[in-house]
Structure 1
Amino acid sequence: MSFDPSLIRPFAGLRPRSADAAAVAAPPYDVLSSDEARQVVIDKPLSFLHVSKAEIDLPPEVDHYAPEVYARSAENFGRLIAAGVLCRDPLACYYTYRLTMGEHVQTGLVAVASVAAYDSNRIRKHEYTRPDKEDDRVRQIEALNAQTGPVLLAHPDSAEAERLVGQGTDRLPVADVTAADGIRHTLWTIDDAETITRIGAVFAAMPTLYIADGHHRSAAAARVAAARRVRSGSSLSAEFFLAVIFPAAQMRIMDYNRVVRDLNGLSEESFLAAVGERYTISPSPFPVKPERTGVCGMYLGGRWYRLALLPGRVPLSDPVRRLDVSLLAEQILGPLLGITDLRRDTRIDFVGGMRGAAELERRVNSGEMAVAFAMHPTPMAELMAVADAGLVMPPKSTWFEPKLADGLVSHVLD
């Protein structure tokens, strides 16, 4: 089988001068609330949050989706360019992006990925998107005439891809930033013509790429491309979206835990008894960190319990139903706690694994929540299996760490 060599392309990135990279780099727009972002940018006039979350520069009562937010975003973006803080590379190139979080290191390729491959499912999805969030990203792209938030992609194992992408990392980087959370973001340019050609060929031979994070950004890019085809016939740059592509084996998925507000009218004793019909329950003096599929931790009434699903309850042939988040929903959340719509039910909330067991304990001990569940992280192979089957995962199934920074490279639509 042959594949279109335009799965990915190099591009002339818009990026901060090396001296300004630390001042510009910002957390992704969707991991901070507006109030949190306002605090982060105090005394940081160059922070890319002024572009990605421009409501922070407007009165708090302004709706986050109001036209003036996108206008302010474009104004702030233009100001950074006019001041020379953001400069565009003269020639199309790739970039190597390395994330370092403690002992964990992952090295990937910054490129633009094909909208056509996304539309044909060669770039595979595993989540539903929300129209309001898609609309927001469409308006942002159109206001800036640029894609500024990279989509996180994974590629199948390829020693040659890893070698080519990593071979220039012994040179001086164009950006080297250690963020407030301790995560190091390092960027190198790949501007050698022969290497660019070889990288394109290696990726062209890959049957698929997988969206890890950024479903709304990729969907929005596809909508912008379709609209521009109608308006102007074609726009080559709009037919690609900004992405960072890591080897699947290097990517780190953390647990995405659940907290529930009440026990659906059950007492703690009757709830434990009902859980015991489905799981083997073992009290634990310590927070439970599930070691395998079919095991989760539960914090209830000031105590931790290890729950091990009874034999025969894992549907191994179904790539969605065998996920731990699905097992919890089918065995406890739905039948015992009455939570059947994880997207809309306000009785459930989700806690990323970076916050640790202490956050689960805090939410329950405060009385805000009645019970917490510590989940086993979804393996990357399971995500890929769901995407390959053309299925979607339950909400809040994966939490990728470390996360990419906004502002280190943007893709201008010519």
Structure 2
Amino acid sequence: MAKIIPFKAVKPTRAIVGLVAARPYQSYTLDERESRMGYNPYSFLHIVNPGYKYDQEVTGEERYRLVKSRYEEFKEDGIFVTENKPSLYVYKIVNRYGQEFNGIIAATSAEDYEKDVIKKHEDTIAKREQTFKTYLQTVGFNAEPVLLTYPDNVVISNIIKETQKEYAEFEFTMTYRDTHYLWKLDNDETINKIQNEFKKMETIYIADGHHRSASSYLLYKDEKEKNPNHNGSESYNFFMSYLIPESDLVIQEFNRLVKDLNGLTKEEFLIKLDAVYRIENRGIMPYSPSKPHHFSMYLDGEFYSLYLRKTNYNFENALDKLDAQLLYSTILDPILGIKDLRNDNRIEYVHGKHEMITIKSSVDSGKFKVGFGMCPATVQQMKEIANEGLTMPPKSTYILPKLRSGITIYEY
């Protein structure tokens, strides 16, 4: 039984929301950050990079305290305004490829995360969890929702469609040419209908934001233990999420680039591959795989197709059927000697929208020796892996939509 609740969001004013909204801080290059902050005093980047004001790099808890100060300044200056009434928010994104995402921004339950009602499919790093938990405790707000997905639901879908017939509170387009729309939903009867539909759901799934979810759960545990009057209604019991139906979720693949052949010659490498895959040389034209357990490879100026010899490989669980895991267990680890996908600097990842032409140019440049392309995972695979309590290898999925910070803010 999934629990969601309305909350009093802190939001920018309609006039400047497009100037405030920002991608996650780490997704910008240094030059991009400098440019945006230099020409846009409203950017949320000014809050998360408070040292910019003093032309100084600030780190650790000192940075967190300055983030809180800069956030309070934005509120004092009227850039951010707090809602008068707890609400849900219907949110729509249309990206430059014409893909449309419709869902609801709400507060979701940390207890649901603890009880595995909210399921995950990726491992998290304990140090990052603790760091972000400390950040949340210090700054007192969260500005980027976790992306969750739920089974398609006719009642919720109809409410979203009816709400979207009204005038949107926000409508703005970012420089990446994705257009964002937001409607406030504060009718108690409608909110109750949505909540009742989520109560019928045994499970919802994290699509993107595993570390933010884990950190919010750690915050909940800490604050609950410190509060002798804990009653479950406190803001730390929840974290902000954007919930979209499974049919709206888009999963692209992450392709792999490897810097060397682990001491093997090209011929030796191909012979080892031949024991596990049927190999066909596809020549110089870019080639992409067309079905699961089928990879493309670019090596020494030529494309190859790799078809798994299934008699040599057993699928024992949902994870074994995932192409990212299959590539790791049959090639990256046993042949190329890459054990740690997260930290080995011999491997890099390119998400699917860049396709095989990027792999070709990267290998042709001499920086990499070989590249692999694969088909994207499916939502069903993601769910099956989560249901079995397993986790995908790093960079198994590139999930859309990509969310922005600073549009709705959840305060603790």
Q: Could you tell me which amino acid in structure 2 is paired with residue 176 of structure 1? A: E
What residue is the counterpart of 1:50 in the other structure? Answer: 46
Q: 1:325 to 1:86 in 2, by over 3 A?
A: same
| Equivalence for 2:63 | 69
What is aligned with 1:14? 10
Query: Which of 31, 34, 37 pairs up with 1:38?
Result: 34
Q: CA deviation at 1:7?
A: 0.8
Tell me the distance in 1 between the aligned counterparts of 2:17 and 2:267.
Answer: 55
What TM-score does the superposition give when structure 1 sets the normalisation length?
Answer: 0.93
Deviations 1:202-237 (A, max 9, x none): 111111110011111111111111111122233611
Question: Mean Cα displacement is larger for which, 169-178 or 311-320?
Answer: 311-320
- Greater Cα shift, 46-55 or 82-91: 46-55
Find the aligned partners of 1:39 and 1:290 in 2 and give their Cα distance: 39
Which of 81, 84, 95 pairs up with 2:78? 84
Greater CA drift, 47-56 or 155-164: 47-56
Q: Give 1:357 deviation, angstroms.
A: 2.7
In the alignment, the residues of structure 1 paired with residue 128 and residue 389 of structure 2 have an alpha-carbon distance, to the nearest angstrom, of 22
Partner of 1:269: 267
Indicate conservation of the 8 Å contact 1:115/1:221, yes or no. Answer: yes
Deviation, 1:40, is 3.6
Identify the residue that residue 201 of structure 2 maps to in structure 1: 206
2:329 alignment partner in structure 1: 330
Q: Is there any run of 5+ residues in structure 1 with no aligned partner, and where?
A: none
Q: Secondary structure at the match of 2:321?
A: coil
Q: Which residue of 2 aligns with 1:107?
A: 102
The Cα of 1:54 is off from its aligned counterpart by 4.2
Q: Please state how far the C-alpha of 1:148 moved relative to its aligned partner.
A: 1.3
Unpaired runs of 5+ residues, structure 2, are: none
Instruction: Provide the rounded CA distance (Å) in 2 between the counterparts of 1:60 and 1:379.
Output: 44
SS at match of 1:19: coil
Name the amino acid aligned to 2:48. S
1:353 maps to what in 2? 352
Over 3 Å counting, the alpha-carbon distance change for 1:210 and 1:30 in structure 2 is: farther
Amino acid at match of 1:291: S
Cα offset, 1:56, TM superposition: 5.2
Partner of 1:167: helix, strand, or coil? helix
Measure how far apart 1:146 and its partner are.
1.1
Tell me by how many angstroms 1:30 deviates.
4.2
2:122 equivalent in structure 1 = 127
Is contact 1:287–1:297 with CA below 8 Å preserved after alignment? no
Q: Secondary structure at the match of 1:141?
A: helix
Counterpart of 2:366, as a letter, is G
CA distance in 2, matches of 1:55, 1:369: 37
Which of 169, 172, 196 is the aligned partner of 1:174? 169
- What is the rounded CA distance, in whole Å, between the counterparts of 2:336 and 2:393 in structure 1? 17
- Give the aligned residue type for 2:107: V
Give the CA deviation at 1:341: 1.5
2:156 matches 1:161 = yes
SS in 1 for 2:260: coil
| AA matched with 1:161 | I
Q: How does 1:245-324 map to 2 (within 5 A)?
A: 245-284=243-282, 285-313=284-312, 315-324=314-323
Cα distance change on mapping 1:54 and 1:140 into 2, 3 Å: farther
Report if the CA contact (8 A) 1:252-1:401 is conserved: yes
How much has 1:249 moved relative to structure 2? Answer: 1.6
Name 1:152's counterpart in structure 2.
147
Count residues in correspondence: 407
Alignment CA distance shift 1:140-1:57 (3 Å): farther
Structure 1 residue 58, shift from structure 2 partner: 6.1
Contact persistence 1:58–1:69 (CA under 8 A): no
Q: Secondary structure at the match of 1:18?
A: coil
SS of alignment partner, residue 368 of structure 1: coil
| Contact 1:288–1:296 (8 Å) recurs in 2 | no
Shift of 1:300: 1.2
TM-score, normalised on structure 2? 0.94
CA deviation map 1:365-398 (0-9, x unaligned) = 2211111111211111100001111111111111
